[in-house]
Amino acid sequence: MLPGWLWWVPPLIVTAALYGLALRRTAGVAAGGVAVAAALSAGTAIALGEPARSVTGVALLAVGLGAVTWALGRARRRGRARRLALAAYRAAAPDVPGVAAEVERHRLAAELHDTAAHRLTGIVVGSASALRLADQALVEEAARHAAETGRLAVEELERLTDADTPAGRGDFADLDALIATWPDPRLSYRRTGGSAPPEIAAVAYRVVREALTNALRYGPGGDVRVGVEREHGRLLVSVVNTPGDPAVNGGDVARGLGGGHGLAGLRAATAACGGSLSAGPEGQGWAVRAELPLAPEDRPPSSPSSTYSPSSPSSTYEWRGRQAADVALAILALALSIGTSLVTADVPEELPGEVALLVPLFAAHALPLALRRRAPLAGLAAALSVYPLLLAAGLAGWTTQPAGDVFLWCLWVELALLYAVGAYGRPALRRWGAMAPAAVAAVGGLALACGPGIIGNRLAAWAVLAMGVAVPATATWALGLAVAARRGRRRTAMARERDLLGREAAAVVLAERSRLAAELRRTALRHARAIVAAADARRLDDVLAEARAGLAALRESLDELRLQGDDPPPTIAGIALLAARHQGAVRYAGTRRAASPSVEVAAFRAAELILRHGGPEVTVACHADGVAVSGPSSPGAERRLRALADAAGGGFSQDEYGTTRVWIPEVLA
């Protein structure tokens, strides 16, 4: 035994070590440290020859104090992560308008690549082939096709230069028309899918159009097979082309529009609807294949979207987050009530059934702390109900434990629940919140007035003691209300900041859209109109020259549109631009909604790690109480993802397909 005051030094050292462990390591490692400390405490008591009762009490106290230390370290770890996230969020706020303009440029670039460039490429290839063969009938047919396609290009460019352009929808009739007007006769087409949702048909159309355009650019004159088939609730789209004829001149200008951007856009479009895309050599040719779900539940298992569930991931207990702090308080309350009773030497042992009575009552008093954020009023009522039972048990002679002593020793439990009533109670019930301090005062005053040390009029003593208890009870409840009000003001201020930033970004996007529209009217649209005029006049040489000039103008426009600006802001919306820069795709599942800065930044960092070290696709599932980010990742990124999820109070998991999932919960500040 240590002499004098030195007995508390080892527990203090152990507590400091556990706090540091919880602050700097993950939740599991820190929890293991608590278990080791509790085992050492119990082992020390056994080595000192303490009876089993005292050993049990020491172990309970060690677990309770260790749990609270763990929770405090975890809270500091999460708080530090939130502060860093908020600083990063606000530091990136000035870049949001510029990044929004870049997102608009990427959108317009994808539209130009998919529509106008596709039309002009067909005109170049058809006109060049007809002029090379010098067949008058082919020249007439090429001129007719150029006039029709040129008018479509003019319509599409005029639509793109409008201020407000609705998102495109489609059906298989558009796909059939695309195949019917294709200039190269060496094309076979098979479609067995009768119908599909408009958004799925639109994606299938984009896949076929991009693949056919690439076939014209890089393999003109080759055979092309297009298939659109329905199979087991999925739509399978395939475009396979053989090597082309080197004598067919498709125009080197058209090749400059490639670079993988078209396939990256298709990958993003297929991922957005829960599908997958593959493109690569097949035999001596090239194949593009897409697998699209016809219903949300028919997603391919290999897709990252398979990890998304419409139910909230937080329906399961989040032991790393703030719920665990409440459980730690409940464990501490159990340890202080039961553990101290077992350790204290002057507790009478004449009643063999007293322990069997007191342990359930102490547990019923402590366990409501685990629900203090979810149901504070119900938890407070459950805790207060223990004291009448203790009084009744004392009157019946079942226990010698005074209810007043228990109340004084465990009053902090009621105060913690009162604080939660003010800080976390639902607004609809707050008008009844003033009854909570009164109930604590009434029950506490009764328990104290019935104690053995009270003489005289117990009713008067009850009134006086109740007023004394009401002071700390009301102050604690008011403190909770003040914290809730401050939290509300912070949320209002953050919403105001978001609104101002959103309006500024919208103004910048509108200005950028107007500037780009004016540039398109001056270049590509002018060439498209000249193509139509030359085709109507049957001047195929001029058609070819204008089509090549139009493609050159589009290439310059696309090069400008793809220029990268500032780094994407660390927000959920910024993940889309992050994916575009990594030639990847992001799928947003659930209803997009604004989250707290800490959640937005953590989701962005998780997506960044997945895109950089894993695969080209990431899924962001938004819920009311958090965000789930999933996708394939490499072993090198898993450790960092685990640490990120742990600091956010969330979780990390990996399924049998190698898809990792990071859950970032929304917590009350």
Residue 41 falls in which region: left (phi positive, over 0), alpha (psi -120 to 50) or beta? alpha
**How remote is the C-alpha of 163 from its chain's centroid?**
31
Contact 644, 603 (CB under 8 A): no
Query: Tokens standing for 407?
Result: 């109340």
C-alpha distances in Å from residue 69, one per residue of 72, 165, 284, 478, 486? 5, 57, 66, 26, 27
DSSP bridge pairs for 290: 237, 277
> For position 601, what pLDDT does the model report?
92
Which residues touch 201 (CB under 8 Å, ≥6 apart)?
Answer: 170, 171, 172, 174, 175, 195
Annotated domain spans of the chain? 564-665
Residues in the chain with pLDDT < 70? 1-8, 114-115, 163-170, 183-185, 193, 219-221, 244-262, 295-319, 344-353, 428-432, 562, 564-566, 591, 668-669
> For position 319, what pLDDT does the model report?
66
Q: How many CA atoms lie within 13 A of 278 on its CB side?
A: 11
> For position 219, what pLDDT does the model report?
67
DSSP code of 195? -
φ, ψ at 241 (rounded to 5°) = -125, 145
**How remote is the C-alpha of 334 from its chain's centroid?**
36
Query: Tokens standing for 476?
Result: 């604690």
Residue 109 falls in which region: left (phi positive, over 0), alpha (psi -120 to 50) or beta? alpha
Q: Is 333 helix (H, G, I), strand (E, B) or coil?
A: helix
> For position 32, what pLDDT does the model report?
92
Buried b (16+ CB within 10 A) or exposed e, 539-559: ebebbbbbbbbbbbbbbebbe
Would you identify the CATH topology of the domain 564-665? Heat Shock Protein 90 (3.30.565)
DSSP code of 321? S
How much of the chain is in helix, strand and coil states, percent to nearest 5? 65, 10, 25
> For position 561, what pLDDT does the model report?
75
Residue 649 falls in which region: left (phi positive, over 0), alpha (psi -120 to 50) or beta? left
Q: How many CA atoms lie within 13 A of 330 on its CB side?
A: 20
Query: Tokens standing for 86?
Result: 């908020």
**Cα distance between residue 319 and residue 71, in whole Å:** 10
DSSP code of 667? -
Place of tokens 């659109």: 228
- Cβ of 51: how many Cβ atoms within 10 Å? 11
Q: How many CA atoms lie within 13 A of 289 on its CB side?
A: 11
> For position 275, what pLDDT does the model report?
82
**Cα distance between residue 632 and residue 638, in whole Å:** 10
Query: Tokens standing for 299?
Result: 């997603």
> For position 350, what pLDDT does the model report?
47
pLDDT in tens, 599-610: 989 999 999 999
Place of tokens 């556990």: 18
pTM for this model (two decimals): 0.71
pLDDT in tens, 325-353: 888 999 999 898 888 877 765 554 544 56
> For position 294, what pLDDT does the model report?
83
Residue 112's nearest CA partner among 224, 213, 238, 204 is 213
Place of tokens 């958090």: 626
Alpha helices in 181-303 (DSSP H): 198-218, 252-255, 261-272
